Structure 1
Amino acid sequence: MKNIARTLASLLALALTHAPSALAQASCSSDGTPQPVAIFERFISADCEACWSDAATPAPSATAGAAVLDWIVPGKAGDDAPLSAAATSDALARLQTLGRKPPVATDVHTAAIEATMPARLRVAHGMPFNDYLGTAIAFTPVQRAAQRTGAAPAAMDFYLLLVESVPAGTEGTKVARNMVRNMLHGTLDKRNKLSKSEQMKWMETRSMRIPEGAQAERLRMVGWVQDAQGRVIAAAQSTCR
């Protein structure tokens, strides 16, 4: 059954990239949603229950439009940590990429969107099937920029995150949370191109497992693309309309 779920989720993700209008009633995407101006990441130790419930949790400045993410980092107490049910090894991988150590309490990282090239990013997901969700991310440099340079951009990294939106006043938190539940990290290179007729467009489609305990109706996607220097050049987050 799980193999069937993976296959169907992958097929759905492919359709989400190629024919978003055809699945408007069965998917959620970033279409029509303003691009985030920054990625604001909060890393919370699974040992620190008070950090999760703190009303003074770090938040973006007055500038609106940041994509806020909450990573629960495995703690020293392991499975006995108060927040262990939501902890993920993806948080450790992300911290390692940033060159940071797991926090004792809370750590924050902010990255502004640096539009070094005009580009469009789209993220989407379908409806849950068993324990899986079909997801997609597509990156397209604006045509005129490609024509000016005469060459495709160098290989870039992408992040596609499965996020659960937790409203303030629920699950023990006094502030709204966007808890990272799953992560796909890879490189957009020539292997990801759609076709010869779309030489400047990259995509990735994948089925993502929905972790136990996550509420499917609160799930959405957040994604971004960054260049070889680690600068975020485009970001997107899905909504269900």
Structure 2
Amino acid sequence: MATLASPLAHSQSACSSDNQPLPSALFERFINADCDTCWRDPAAPPAPRDALALDWIVPGSRGDDAPLAAAASTDALARLAELQVARPAMQTQPVSAIKGWPKAALRVAHGPAVGDYMGLLIALSLPQSSALALPLSGWVVLLEALPVGTEGSSVPRYLVRNALQPLWDKREQLSNQETLSFNDLRAMGIPQGVDARRLRVASWVQDAHGQILTAVQSACQPEDKN
């Protein structure tokens, strides 16, 4: 994909999930890297309204010779395994409901790209509850938002460029705590050729049963040109 060969651009300024609407579902499009037509499929399903959309390129049987190999990620295989979904021969689009845990607060924030890395903050707070199925785990994904027409795509794409998982694997008992809170500072590598102006960070937290409790995605404020 030619998009992968474009030069790294200057990044945006302050970006966070603050004041962004909470998604009601996680919509994931998985494309096998062997499928040279799947990205351009005119019947590609658009993301449902109010969903957090992700596009994963799954490593194929042709390895580095696959048409979409440059964007393929082993994280896609890990995510499919977690969903208990087989690697697609062409493409598949599972949808996961987001439960919406009462008073849960998840936040992501990141600064501009510095070289080949981006620093980010992930913070989680949620109330103690005996109904909470521990351990909690989480994903943080670095997305490149690609408009309609990119490499012939008929829909906007949110291509996963990097992932951290699991972010949290917390087994602490909550009996003596009113609130469960975590903060993580991380650095995520930016693959060569990514347009940093299009980067976003998304995150979700799930319980021991894989039920998504909450999810967020960052948005960036326009740069002040004055």
Tell me if both proteins adopt one fold, taking TM over 0.5 as the criterion. Answer: yes
CA, structure 1 residues 151+175, in 2 after alignment: closer, same or farther (shift >3 Å)?
Answer: closer
Counting aligned pairs with the same residue, the percent is 46
Which residue in the other structure is 1:37 paired with? 24
TM-superposed deviation, 1:140: 1.0
120 and 38 in structure 1: CA distance in 2 versus 1, 3 angstrom threshold: same
In 1, Cα distance between the equivalents of 2:101 and 2:121? 23
Report the AA paired with residue 213 of structure 1: G
Cα distance in 1 for partners of 2:220, 2:123 equals 18
Counterpart of 2:146 in structure 1 is: 166
Provide, for residues 79-101 of structure 1, a one-character-per-residue CA deviation record: whole Å limited to 9, x for no partner.
Answer: 11111111111111111111222
If the length of structure 2 is used for normalisation, what is the TM-score? 0.84
Among candidates 167, 180, 185, match of residue 200 of structure 1: 180
Mapped partners of 2:85, 2:130: distance in 1: 38
Could you tell me how far apart the structure 2 residues matched to 1:88 and 1:80 are? 14
Q: Which residue of 1 aligns with 2:3?
A: none
Counterpart CA distance in 2 for 1:136 and 1:161 is: 12
Q: Answer whether contact 1:40 1:110 (CA < 8 A) is retained.
A: yes
The 2-side partners of 1:220 and 1:200 are apart by 26
Unaligned ranges ≥5, structure 1: 1-24, 192-196
The counterpart of 2:86, out of the listed 62, 86, 101, is 101
| Residue number in structure 1 paired with 2:197 | 217
Give the counterpart of 1:50 among 37, 45, 67. Answer: 37
Shift of 1:226: 0.5
Give the match's secondary structure for 2:187.
strand
Structure 1 position 76 matched with structure 2 position 56? no
1:189 aligns with 2:178: no
2: distance between equivalents of 1:198 and 1:28? 30
Higher relative contact order (CA 8 A, sep 6+): 2
Shift of 1:57: 0.6
For 1:172 and 1:240, the matched residues in 2 are separated by 26
Q: Is the 8 A contact 1:52 1:173 kept in 2?
A: yes
Shift of 1:26: 3.9
8 A Cα contact 2:139 2:205, kept in partner: yes
Q: 1:179 to 1:150 in 2, by over 3 A?
A: closer
Bigger proportion of residues as helix = 1
Deviation (angstroms), 1:157: 0.6
1:137-187 residue CA offsets vs partner (Å, 9 max, x unmatched): 11111xxx44xx499873301010000001101233121100001010122
The residue identity in structure 1 corresponding to 2:14 is: S
Q: Displacement, 1:224? A: 0.3
Partner amino acid, structure 2, of 1:171: E
Two-structure CA RMSD over aligned residues (Å): 2.3
Q: Following TM superposition, by how much is the alpha carbon of 1:119 offset from its aligned partner in structure 2, in angstroms?
A: 0.5
Contact 1:152–1:200 (8 Å) recurs in 2: no
Tell me the CA shift for residue 35 of structure 1. 0.7
Cα deviation, residue 58, structure 1: 2.0
Q: How far did residue 66 of structure 1 move?
A: 0.2
* Conserved? CA contact 2:133–2:207, under 8 Å: no
Task: Confirm or deny that 1:154 pairs with 2:154.
Answer: no
CA distance in 2, matches of 1:138, 1:105: 36
| Aligned 8 A contact 1:42 1:71 in 2 | yes
Structure 2 residue identity aligned to 1:167: P
Is 1:128 matched with 2:113? yes
Q: Which moved more, 1:95-104 or 1:206-215?
A: 95-104
